[in-house]
Amino acid sequence: MPRGVAIPELSEQLFKAVERVLEREGPGGLSGRAITREAGVATGLLYNHFADLDDLLAAFILDRARAFVGHVEALSSRPGTGTVTGNLTEAATAMAPVITLMYNLVVSRPSLARRLHGLLHGSELSLLTLEAAFAGYLDAEKRHGRVPASVDAPALSIALVGAVHHLLMTGRLSMMGQVVAAIVGKLGARRRSSQLTGC
């Protein structure tokens, strides 16, 4: 296996070890030795498959970011089920602990932030992707009659993504349910209560 091409199973093993070390010791406790010890593998395996520690951490963040985007995109299968506010809250808070760990990690390592900036440029992982996923879900709920036809889904999705981003940066993801309810909960305020059971 060429250096810099990680075995998928080993990658996930190392990613989970990164999460555990971050949870227990914070970004300051991360080192190649600490991660491989946590994963139960030889330290050399990390450097056989990743160029350096930042390479591993960047791969970890990209993998978890893709998982989060995928979770939000899965809203497309939920129109007409549960409640609109509940579905949006669950999607927005998916992986909240991991996202918080990722944010703290990037803030603590400027070299990692620079590397990620280059990797993310032009990729499918962007706030615009999340906006499109939220907007698509809201438009689908319009067709189910659970969101008023007058609602501007793209504009509302910007508010939702902005809320996720702000609460992440201020360490208050636990408030997401309240914030989503405030943004979305009054969508049908001028509609008859019998039409609002889905909100």
| Mean pLDDT of all residues belonging to the chain | 84
The pTM assigned to this predicted structure is 0.80
Question: Average of pLDDT values for 185-192?
Answer: 50
Task: Find the DSSP H helices in the chain.
Answer: 8-25, 32-39, 43-49, 53-73, 84-93, 96-108, 110-120, 127-143, 153-169, 176-184
Q: What is the pLDDT of residue 98?
A: 83
Q: Rounded to whole angstroms, how far apart are CA atoms 165 and 9? A: 31
Domain boundaries, the chain: 80-195
pLDDT at 36 over 80: yes
Q: Rounded to whole angstroms, how far apart are CA atoms 56 and 11? A: 8
Kindly report which listed range (79-93, 115-129, 142-156) carries the lowest average pLDDT score.
Answer: 115-129
Overall fold of domain 80-195: Tetracycline Repressor; domain 2 (1.10.357)
Phi/psi-derived region of residue 40, left when phi > 0, alpha when psi is between -120 and 50, beta in every other case = left
Q: Rounded to whole angstroms, how far apart are CA atoms 164 and 168? A: 6
Residues 140-180 have pLDDT tens digits of 999 999 999 999 999 999 999 898 888 887 878 788 888 88
**Hey, how many other C-beta atoms are within 10 angstroms of the C-beta on 81?**
11
Q: What is the pLDDT of residue 121?
A: 65
